[in-house]
Structure 1
Amino acid sequence: MRELSGKVAVVTGAASGIGRALATRFAAEGMSLMLADVDPGGLAETAALAGDAKVLTQVTDVSDAAAVRHLANRTFGELGAVHVLCNNAGVFQGGHLWTRSEEDFSWLLGVNLWGVLHGIRAFVPRMIEQDTEGHIVNTVSVAGLFAAPWFGTYSVSKYAALAASQSLAQDLAVTGSKLRVTALCPGGVKTRINDSARVRPPDLSNLRSSDETESQEIIDHVLEGGIEPSQVADLVVEAIHEERFLLLTHPEYADRLRRQTETLLSGRLPPLPTIDAADPAGSGRE
């Protein structure tokens, strides 16, 4: 998809971080925008940064299928089409797998996986019917490529999001669709995902365990040394132009993925990660 000017982009998780950077980058490309998030104040701030672009905003919980259908209905109704769909909303919860509650899993899977699936089901059929070039960008994470201690719940949701992205791309290919897919797998990026508790539903208990505190210290460290969200947005635009499926924000991940594959094929457990700004334990910053 070479031309973005005059087209329509939808971005979830647009109130901050990568979502905000995508919105302002698409606006600079001359696109009209539908921006969604659970944070109305952040949405308004992002919209104000979009300059002269046409911008609609919608408070949307992507874990709610009906809310995402409403987002799609409004987008197609008021903007007429969708050419780029960014299923970007995401949240983080750390800790060991055996200490995480059902509420933790429900929340992360609801946003990180079902948010992607709801976006696909609500938007993609109509994007196919448009019979135009188009692109779906799913924000996964390198945590969807490299599982890590303290980040199991998050990795489970992101591995599934990667599988959904690959299956979607292959389904589109075998049906001859003009749509393409990018699985965005960021490493450490300076966003607010380490403060996901601010958007956790109030009806879900959130008693922090000692292992969760350790994971919080790790993710805080990773984000502090991360890259800027604007760099990720630039890479996404390149990936759309080049129709690239897997997008890594840190070049060193390519070699790591090769090493992990070789290790797994030998039947061994991949080595524990080191903790730095490019570490998978702190990746996938929406």
Structure 2
Amino acid sequence: MKKLIITGAANGIGRATVEQAIKDGYFVIAADKDRQGLERLQGVHGREVLETHVADFSDPAVIKGFIPALYERHTTIYGLVNNAGIYHGKSVYAYSDEQIDEILNVNLKALVYLSKDFAEREMKHEAPRAIVNISSVAGEVGSCDALYGATKAAVIGLTKANAWNFAPFVRVNAVSPALIHETAIYDTIPEYRRVEYARQEILKDPILPSGVAEVILLLIGEGFRHMTGKVIPVDNGAYPR
């Protein structure tokens, strides 16, 4: 059974990805700061398919220590889904210094450390491995939340760079969702932005976390073994680019 790390696993896209990964036959290592959310997941899935870790990726010590600690328990891990993220939906003027540090840590620095620490340990096996990063349409076309948009643009750059850095054994791709319903972020997005997202969509079936999860698992799987350094939109055709 292949092992897969998923961060931000307790809710939204992360939880849907856990569910899809278990359905597809993976053993999931799920991390989130939401202890109760993880406990709900563990209540549904047995320990033979799910291992949970309470982890706050705004904490630099957690960022740097998470992967090394996992490898004290696991000899090898097949894949990493960097999903944990923060969105405030507010002006750059409204950010405190602490919030700036927090969003940079969770949305970008965590991906830097988790990715390099994972790849460093797995490349020695000289076997196929995969990383999927969760970016956003906001990283491609901009956002009313400048810090969110900036970090998600940086995730795209990191994805492309690490596809080179970790070749030929670890593939690195990104998923770029647009307006995803039934998530904590959805209600935080200003109404005028939700209206604009909906106007741009040329497919009208609302995108749910499960729809994004299906794409993530495709990218992780062997069927996409020839793809790396790519950004795959999940956006109902909005913002052609």
Q: TM-score band, normalised by the shorter chain?
A: 0.7 to 0.9
The higher radius of gyration belongs to: 1
Instruction: Please point out which of 171, 176, 190 is paired with 1:185.
Output: 176
Partner of 1:273: none
Instruction: Please point out which of 224, 231, 241 is paired with 1:242.
Output: 224
Partner of 1:256: 240
2:152 pairs with 1:158: yes
**Structure 2 residue identity aligned to 1:249:** V
Instruction: Please point out which of 123, 135, 151 is paired with 1:128.
Output: 123
User: Which structure 2 residues correspond to residues 1-286 of structure 1 after superposition, within 5 A?
Assistant: 6-50=1-45, 53-148=48-143, 150-173=144-167, 177-190=168-181, 191-194=183-186, 216-218=190-192, 226-240=206-220, 241-243=223-225, 244=227, 245-253=230-238, 256-257=240-241
Asked whether the 8 Å contact 1:93–1:108 carries over to 2, the reply is no
Gaps of 5+ in 1: 1-5, 197-214, 258-286
Q: TM-score, normalised by structure 2?
A: 0.84
Aligned pair count reads: 228
Give the whole-Å Cα distance in 1 for the aligned partners of 2:66 and 2:187.
25
Give the whole-Å Cα distance in 1 for the aligned partners of 2:206 and 2:145.
17
Q: TM-score, normalised by structure 1?
A: 0.72
Runs of 4+ displaced beyond 4 Å: 218-223
> Residue 102 of structure 1: CA displacement?
2.4
Give the whole-Å Cα distance in 2 for the aligned partners of 1:220 and 1:39.
26
Give the whole-Å Cα distance in 1 for the aligned partners of 2:120 and 2:18.
23
**Structure 1 residue identity aligned to 2:185:** I
Deviations 1:181-236 (A, max 9, x none): 1111111112112578xxxxxxxxxxxxxxxxxx543467669x841111111111
Give the whole-Å Cα distance in 2 for the aligned partners of 1:103 and 1:25.
35
Give the whole-Å Cα distance in 2 for the aligned partners of 1:68 and 1:154.
19
Give the whole-Å Cα distance in 1 for the aligned partners of 2:27 and 2:185.
26
CA shift in 2, pair 1:219/1:41, >3 Å: farther
**Structure 1 residue identity aligned to 2:211:** Q
Give the whole-Å Cα distance in 2 for the aligned partners of 1:78 and 1:54.
15
Deviations 1:115-157 (A, max 9, x none): 2112113222102122221100111111111113x22121011
Deviations 1:82-117 (A, max 9, x none): 111011100102223344332332221111111211
